[in-house]
Amino acid sequence: MLKVDGVVAGYQTGSRVLDGFSMHIKPGEIVALLGRNGMGKTTFLKALMGHVQVAQGSVNLDGESIKGLRPYEVARRGVGYVPQGREIFPDFTVEENLMMGLLGRPDLPKQIPDWAFEIFPILDERRKQRGGSMSGGQQQQLAIVRALVGKPKLLLLDEPSEGIQPNIVQEIGHVLSRISREQGLTVLLVEQNMELVLGMAQRCLFMENGVIVHETQDVQGLRTNPEPIHRYLSV
Ligand SMILES: Nc1ncnc2c1ncn2[C@@H]1O[C@H](COP(=O)(O)OP(=O)(O)OP(=O)(O)O)[C@@H](O)[C@H]1O
């Protein structure tokens, strides 16, 4: 469903944070993208979304190029993005934040669907509460549901566990795995928390200096043979 070939991208002209980056994801798959700080994981998600310009290479979603599209156009093609740090609107209520998730999808009804409040029940209890007054974990749940109300077929998550208590991390993992299983949602997860990765991912890609350097299909095998984790993630 997503096929990326030879992507070169960076922040200044000529910079190659992504240096010929290639990967693919099958429909309904949950793939983790792993690597040390500064290797280009966030840059890749930004390049997919159109926040960072792709200088070379191709980016195809369901056989159609999304390279060079603006972020709102990428969202309309069915890509949801939960950025690092969540970036919810702190002065808006839970409901208002969720409405923002519908803004990019003029084809959908301008009403938050009931199911949005069933994904994480805490959001139903806190409908009228300001996003900024909630815990980090609740804000992350809000950011995820805000992306889901736009009905993405591919969800990009950038370090969703960062700064969040373990029980909420676990709940997020369970919920997204279930949605993927039941509804065929494809997920690309950038994450440092190996418990979340091992609990969710069906395939792991290890990234170094702007390219994928290793792939493992046997995610559970990383528990008994963590050598790639040590090699590509330890500092
Ligand atoms: N806005 C920016 N302007 C210029 N350079 C940037 C910018 N954002 C990131 N970089 C640089 O691009 C490189 C890759 O950063 P990126 O954030 O993609 O790494 P990462 O693998 O996601 O790591 P982290 O876990 O620290 O977020 C780093 O060298 C970083 O300094």
Q: Are 185 and 218 in contact (CB under 8 A)?
A: no
How many angstroms is it from 43 CA to the middle of ligand 1?
Answer: 6
In the predicted model, what is the mean pLDDT of the chain?
A: 95
Homologous superfamily (CATH) for 27-40+78-233: P-loop containing nucleotide triphosphate hydrolases (3.40.50.300)
Atom number, ligand 1, closest to the C-alpha of residue 44: 18
Q: CB atoms < 10 A from the CB of 42, how many?
A: 19
Residue with tokens 């999808």: 105
Residue 235 confidence class, pLDDT cut points 50, 70, 90? low
pTM for the complete prediction?
0.94
Those residues with Cβ within 8 angstroms of residue 141's Cβ, 6 or more apart along the chain or in another chain: 119, 120, 122, 123, 168, 171, 172
- Strand (E) or helix (H) holding 41: helix 41-49
| 35 within ligand 1 shell (Cβ under 6 A) | yes
Dump pLDDT digits (tens) for 183-232. 999 999 999 999 999 999 999 999 999 999 999 999 999 999 999 999 99
Residue 122 confidence class, pLDDT cut points 50, 70, 90? very high
**What ipTM was estimated for this complex?**
0.95
Phi, psi of 22 (to 5 degrees): -130, 140
Residue 235: is it exposed, middle or buried by C-beta count within 10 angstroms (0-12/13-18/19+)? exposed
Atom number, ligand 1, closest to the C-alpha of residue 192: 25
| 131 within ligand 1 shell (Cβ under 6 A) | no
Dump pLDDT digits (tens) for 36-75. 999 999 999 999 999 999 999 999 999 999 999 999 999 9
Nearest-CA residue for atom 30 of ligand 1? 38
How many angstroms is it from 41 CA to the middle of ligand 1?
Answer: 8
Token pair in block for residue 175:
């919920």
Atom number, ligand 1, closest to the C-alpha of residue 10: 12
Domain ranges of the chain: 27-40+78-233
Token pair in block for residue 88:
């919810």
Distance between first and last Cα of the chain: 33
The predicted structure's pLDDT at residue 104: 80
| 115 within ligand 1 shell (Cβ under 6 A) | no
Token pair in block for residue 7:
């992507």
